[in-house]
Amino acid sequence: MNFLDFVVLIGSLVAIAAYGAWHTRRHRNLDHYLRGDESVGWLTIGISVAATQASAITFISTPGQGYESGLDFVQNYFGMPLALILIAAVFLPIYRRLNVYTAYEYLGRRFGARTRLLGAALFLLQRGLAAGITIYAPAIILSTVLGWNLGLTIVLSGLLVIVYTVAGGSQAVNLTQKWQMAVIFGGMLAAFAILLIKTPANLSDDFAIAGTFKKLNAVSFSLDPDRRYTFWSGLLGGFFLSLSYFGCDQSQVQRYLSGSSLRESRLGLMFNAVLKIPMQFFILFLGVMLFVFYQFEQPPIFFNQAAWHEAVQNDPGQKLQSIEQQFDTASARTTHDIREWLAARHTGNRAAAAIARAKARADEDGVIAIRAQAEKVMQQNDPGVKSNDADYVFVTFILNHLPHGLIGLLIAAFFAAALQSKSAELNALGATTTVDFYRHLFEREASDAHYVAASRWFTFFWGLVAIAFALFANLVENLIQAINIVGSVFYGVFLALFLVAFFVRRVSGKAVFWAALVAQSFVFILYFSLNISYLWYNLIGCAACVLLSMVIQLFLRPNTQAPEAGP
Amino acid sequence: MNLPEENASPPPPADHRNELTGLPGLRSWKHVYLFVFACFVLWVLLLLALTVSYS
């Protein structure tokens, strides 16, 4: 990066943050601070919901996933449109009718105070733990590639987001997210255009190459449970995951409750229901095009070059250097065979094209095997080495092949993505702590100004927790997976509280509260005694809590609580 | 622990405009949801066509 890149990077990030803080610096009351003003339209809500979900990892790692595995990850989002329709039709009208600030207030109206506190505590625990990752994950990648100090990168980006989120509240989050998304998609589209220009083959050849190497297999109806992404797992798993995330997680609920009317909130959700699949397709397709590009351009054996050079220096048998030479030769051979195949394809010589195509596929299998061998040697030499090389593919392309200025814009886009999801998380953590704990338990009769000040302090507190957690994150091995496990262990019961509230009207607060505690204990026992994929705990926790609450209710008096809260 | 529920802020007045979508051709929310579902089916079919064409 040169001076121009730094001007673009720092200028765009600071300008957006300053704009958000300045425009929203005066808040008359808690309603304005937590839900924004009355004029938030559906497009702002739609962008804000999308921005909250799309973290920096979405834009850094997803192209790498497209490069490595093709388009099949897009199936993960197949359940989302259906979940958003259900939320818009059932969840949202109830939230708005009850005029709540947080989703957990609804649990209070429906089941009583204990269940409300349980739901809010589950959210704070899970989102509070995840908060550090939103800053840490992109910082570790960008500081590795750019040679920046990791701690300084975390602290500066963390402080920037704290300043405008604390100052401007929910409206600042909405406002800045709009401009941050503009920077992100401006950068991504520019990178895509340059990628197309720099790839020597025409678009028809690009598709043929990607198809030959199985990068365009977007939909699979396979019933094989070992296959990670299929139409069925995406539709069912994605539906429940989206339902809990968009329907019960305050970081999302707060976004669409800031709409000026039910209509604006609903249209904001429908905007996401229509556009999320094509958006993910575009990001994955960018990765597929990176794969095609690197069929004509010599790729590095390991995109995380800092880790590679360190591994080569610490390789006593000099095996890695020899493997790198084999890799370079195999890559050059693949490029040669692809060129031969395309030449035969253009002249209409089908037999020659088929032979060259088969050779290119065999060459690529060899390239993959050599890469795997290199990773194995690196792991043998240093078991702690990070092997998630796909995260570095897009960043490497940006730094090596984009013009200066645009490099700064793309790095700004990654930081903007980190800031936009971070700001929504902090905003939600501050709101839940203020409304569901502080106002509810400790200070019931204070003025609005007092609650706004409290909300600011709690947002600031959670921002510091996130920075501290991010700074010490590298002490925990495989942290992202650890956070996902924590999320999955709690998310099932979390979702069940809301599903029972919305759809099982005869169940009382007492029944669901004890069912939640027993179901959560059951999930803990299973987690420590079984060895199954952690994703299953979402379904197990949810099903156990719903069923148990109905069984417990059979032994209690009929529910006479909160008649206004049912759907 | 048996906490009383706090007094809620009064719910906003019913707004009949919320029943209107304001979208040309999609007058009711049912139509909007059907449109969104149709878009989802269309995306899946397009992705399926891409998969079949280049597999």
Minimal C-alpha gap between A400 and chain B (Å): 30
As a whole number of angstroms, the longest Cα–Cα distance in chain B is 62
What letter would DSSP give residue A445?
A: S
Residue A53 confidence (pLDDT): 82
**What is the average per-residue pLDDT within A504-527?**
91
Q: Which of A106-120, A160-174, A180-194, A387-401 has the lowest mean pLDDT?
A: A160-174
pLDDT at A545 over 90: yes
Which of B2, B6, B21, B52 best probes binding to A when mutated, by most A CB atoms within 10 angstroms? B6
pLDDT band at A148 (very low <50, low <70, confident <90, very high): confident
Q: Min CA distance, A172 vs chain B (Å)?
A: 24
pLDDT band at residue A230 using 50, 70 and 90 as cut-offs: confident
pLDDT at A484: 66
Over range A57-84, report the average pLDDT: 90
Quick one: CA dihedral A532, A536, A537, A541, positive or negative?
negative
The chain-wide mean pLDDT, for chain B, equals: 77
Residues 24 to 43 of B: which have CB under 8 A from any A CB?
Answer: 29, 32-33, 36-37, 39-40, 43
A266/B6 Cβ within 8 A: no
Q: A386: pLDDT confidence band, cut at 50, 70 and 90?
A: low
Residue of B nearest to A118 (CA): B1
Q: What percent of chain A has pLDDT over 70?
A: 93
pLDDT class of B9 with cuts at 50, 70, 90: very low
CB contact under 8 A, A114 and B3: yes
Where does the pLDDT of residue A198 fall: very low under 50, low under 70, confident under 90, or very high at 90 and above? very high
Q: Which chain B residue lies closest to A280 (C-alpha atoms)?
A: B43
Give the per-residue pLDDT at B2. 40
What is the residue-averaged pLDDT of chain A?
Answer: 85
Residue A476: the pLDDT is 54
Confidence at residue B15, expressed as pLDDT on a 0 to 100 scale: 52
Q: Which DSSP letter does residue A444 get?
A: S
> Tell me, what's the pLDDT at A139?
81
Handedness of CA A262, A267, A270, A275 (dihedral sign): negative
| Confidence (pLDDT) at A535 | 67
Residue A204's pLDDT band (cuts 50, 70, 90): very high
Cβ of A261 within 8 Å of Cβ of B6? The answer is no
Encoding tokens for residue A232?
A: 């069925």
pLDDT range class, residue A219, cuts 50, 70, 90: very high
Write phi, then psi, for A381 (nearest 5 degrees): -70, -40
Q: Which residue has the tokens 């069984």?
A: A551
The Cα of A350 is separated from the nearest Cα of chain B by a number of Å equal to 16
B26: β partners: B23
pLDDT at A564 over 50: no
Give the orientation angle of helix A509-529 with respect to helix A103-111, to 10 degrees. Answer: 120
Is A163 or A30 the better-scoring residue by pLDDT?
A163
Q: Which residues of A touch B39 (CB under 8 A)?
A: 81, 273-274
Higher pLDDT, B34 or A382: B34
Contact pairs from chain A to chain B, CB under 8 Å: 105
Mean pLDDT across B33-45: 96
Would you mind telling me the total number of residues written for chain A in this entry? Answer: 567
pLDDT at A532 over 90: no
Q: How far is CA A424 from CA A106, A252, A268, in A?
A: 20, 8, 16
CA distance B26 to chain A (A): 12
Contacts of B21 in chain A (CB under 8 A): 263, 267
The percent of residues above 90 in pLDDT, for chain A, comes to: 32
A88 contact residues in B (CB cutoff 8 A): 29, 33
Mutation site for B-interface testing, chosen from A272, A277, A517, A561 by largest number of B Cβ within 10 Å: A277
CA distance A256 to chain B (A): 15
pLDDT at A27: 59
